[in-house]
Amino acid sequence: MYRLSTRLIALSLPILLAGCAASKPCTDLSERCQAERMLYQNDMLQARLLIASGEKENYRLADALLDRAMPYDRKGEAPFYKALLKIKDGAPTEEALDLLEEAAKAGQPYATALLYKVYSEPFLIPSADRAKASQYRAAYSRLDVAISGYPSFEKALTLVDGMLGAASSQDAQAAGR
């Protein structure tokens, strides 16, 4: 049930490590604060691994882990991965877009890149909105990761495509979402 291929782990490793590095450091040195931080990081890591497995039976547990992580999330990771789950599960588009917007507002680079993809291709929606796509492209360029150069916008789009896996533009359009 929780099988992961070596190739899948190798392909997901940069994404997994980027997520771990992006968590907000605890400013309180108490044991409670440290425990909360470790539990948050553990929940996020497990959720990402379960989602990366591509096995639908793992999505329910990943969703529960993300729900538990939400109150501690400051970088938009939890809503981004919840949106990814919704897309993979075929949930209504609005649910996924609301979560992506929340994640992008928190500065999550992959959410911003995915929103660009949604409005430029179009993906999940019936027609492209070039103006909105341009807004997300510009928003990405203002993120700290873009200023530092890693990941580049093109690399972020490639990673987003990889995370979507089987949920391709054609699949989403064929499903009429």
| Residue pair 129/122 in contact by the 8 Å Cβ criterion | yes
Residues 6+ apart with CB under 8 A from 81: 44, 47, 48, 51, 62, 66
| Residue for token pair 């993906």 | 123
Spatial CA neighbour of 177 closest among 89, 98, 80, 81 = 89
pLDDT tens track of the chain, all 177 residues? 444 444 444 445 444 444 444 444 456 678 888 889 899 999 999 999 999 888 999 999 999 999 999 999 999 999 999 999 999 989 999 999 999 999 999 999 999 999 999 999 989 999 999 999 999 999 999 999 888 878 889 999 999 999 998 454 434 443 344
Per-residue model confidence (pLDDT) at position 28: 64
**Token pair recorded at residue 69:** 């992580």
pLDDT at 68: 95
Spell out the residues 6+ positions from residue 148 whose beta carbon is closer than 8 angstroms to its own: none
Helix (H) or strand (E) holding 107: none
Planar angle of CA 43, 49, 53, nearest 5 degrees: 145
8 A C-beta contact, residue 87 and residue 174: no
Question: What per-residue confidence (pLDDT) applies to 33?
Answer: 86
